[in-house]
Structure 1
């Protein structure tokens, strides 16, 4: 399948103009002209992921988080990003990143669906397209009121994760919820503004957590990877149905850390 055709399908899933201005999405390494017979999918372009893409003979690596985030002044073997880029180029592997473009187009929807949100709406509204408000995160009602402790267990089951961190009284009842997969401390003001009783997100530090509770918002920190790993199986199914001539291989779901 022509590379340009595959990229067009990726852009249908997450239009690049949806991305936040500070982000770096799209084709970051390689050519759009090459033939694509095998795609490797992962959340991050780590050393291990790049090596697995090479080992399986991938023509295209697709990740959620971009390997190249800020501007590069040089590509050498003197830093880990340069080494990864060099390896991709040496093995003729093109590389495409779908970060906040995917967050806006699909990630929050997927998370809200797993949580069974009723009447979800954009949490941080960014723009309107075709009569629909697009943005970061979702806010809606849980199917039923529950304690914060029960909600934490519900989140663990919905995202198949072993542990979460909870800020707030475990016995407090919650129903109106916001979710922001990834790093969501910047969404706390939007969650408060829209009346959320609990925010489900990742990367919440001590002060953000206790300050949110002081303002009436409980927080369930399910981890950055914990909420965003849903990107990989979704994109596997998406590409399998649209790129039937291409073999799509997804990285095994391995958490990048352990709680011991």
Structure 2
């Protein structure tokens, strides 16, 4: 298949518009029209991983972390980033990253951590705003159902666990076409009154082109009247971190042992015990310290994340246990998540997990 088929599917699950401003997710090296037969999945894209792709005949590497975060001005092979990009280009291997956009979807990186730890009743810890929009259109009552159905099929009308959501109000529309028009109802140059339905529905901004195309195809009018509004509402299915609950409360030390075992962590750095049982747990794969206030406000007993600095541990202030399990350890199962996502859609596409442990941090125990 073509590379664009794979990338388009991944971006339907984790849209690029959901990534953070500093990120560089997406196709970093390669051409969408490139034919691919095999792919290699890795948390990081290193020289060893590229060598593995060459050795196994993989034409694309799908990594969680982008190999390039900033613009490269020179390719002299002086850094591992330059060497990875150079080698990938020489061997016609595409590099694709799916990073914070996969972090920020409900069924992404943090959901896999919750699943591994046995957390239930999960929800986004810090939902994102500014990514929802509203479409309002006016349609003859006879075609309202067809237009609504087309909009829902294109991805509109989803609110939390509810789908096909819209508001509808009947009224009267007026219009007068010019001499050269061909109106669906009424006559050119004559004022016409039509019984219409006002349809309102929300949608994620990245689906706007698809939604408008569906509207224009389903709407009978020669000129479609519609309004687009940007909303400040938070999208409850998109955002940073996830919080959930354990089936049964854990003693703090027992939970830390459970965490270390399930997440295959060599060590867990944590703050002092609060003396409370652990029932509610907040998680954020990678560097999640920016979510501490939200974790406390949500009533989490433990906050599982990585990359905490010495002075940042003081911010727990006895209100919560911060548990730092390491960056690689917190995201390592993302590889398995990507494998499952790709295999479910493309059963005939040969995809494999890297055999390389890309964790740059080693522990002397």
Q: Same fold (TM over 0.5)?
A: yes
Q: What is the distance in 2 between the residues matched to 1:14 and 1:2?
A: 19
User: 2-side partners of 1:208 and 1:186: how far apart?
Assistant: 10
CA offset at residue 89 of structure 1? 0.3
* Map 1:157-172 → 2, pairs under 5 A: 157-169=261-273, 171-172=275-276
Give runs of aligned pairs for residues 80-229 of structure 1, distance below 5 A: 80-105=80-105, 106-127=108-129, 130-132=158-160, 133=236, 134-169=238-273, 171-212=275-316, 214-229=317-332
Per-residue CA distance 1:47-82 (angstroms, 9 max, x = gap):
211221122121101100000012222333232211
Q: CA deviation at 1:170?
A: 7.5
The residue number in structure 2 matching 1:25 is 25
Pair 49,170 (structure 1): closer, same or farther in 2 beyond 3 Å: farther
Higher helix content, 1 or 2: 1
Asked if 2 retains the 8 angstrom alpha-carbon contact of 1:149 and 1:171, the reply is: no
Aligned to 1:72: 72
For residues 265 and 321 of structure 2, the distance between their equivalents in structure 1, rounded to whole angstroms, comes to 19
State whether structure 2 residue 335 is matched by structure 1 residue 257: no
RMSD value over aligned CA atoms? 1.8
TM-score under structure 1 length normalisation: 0.93
Give the stretch that moved more between structures: 23-32 or 187-196: 187-196
> 1: distance between equivalents of 2:96 and 2:282?
29
SS at the partner of 2:104? helix
Give SS of 1:259's match: coil
CA distance in 1, matches of 2:327, 2:79: 24
Q: Cα distance, 1:160 vs. partner?
A: 2.8
For this pair of structures, how many residues does the alignment match? 259
Identify the residue that residue 61 of structure 1 maps to in structure 2. Answer: 61
Task: Could you tell me which runs of 5 or more consecutive residues in structure 2 were left unpaired when the two chains were aligned.
Answer: 133-157, 161-235
Q: Is the 8 A contact 1:23 1:99 kept in 2?
A: yes
Per-residue CA distance 1:121-170 (angstroms, 9 max, x = gap): 11121137632311111112222221221111111232233332221227
Per-residue CA deviations over 1:163-204 (Å, capped at 9, x if unaligned) read: 322212275422221100111111112112222221011111
The aligned residue for residue 230 of structure 1 is: 333
Change (3 A) 1:126 1:252: same
Would the aligned equivalents of 2:40 and 2:353 in 1 still touch at CA under 8 Å?
Answer: yes
Secondary structure class of the residue paired with 1:143: strand
Q: Structure 1: where are the runs of 5+ without partners?
A: none
In structure 1, C-alpha distance between the alignment counterparts of 2:244 and 2:78, rounded to whole Å: 47
Deviates more, 1:160-169 or 1:95-104: 160-169
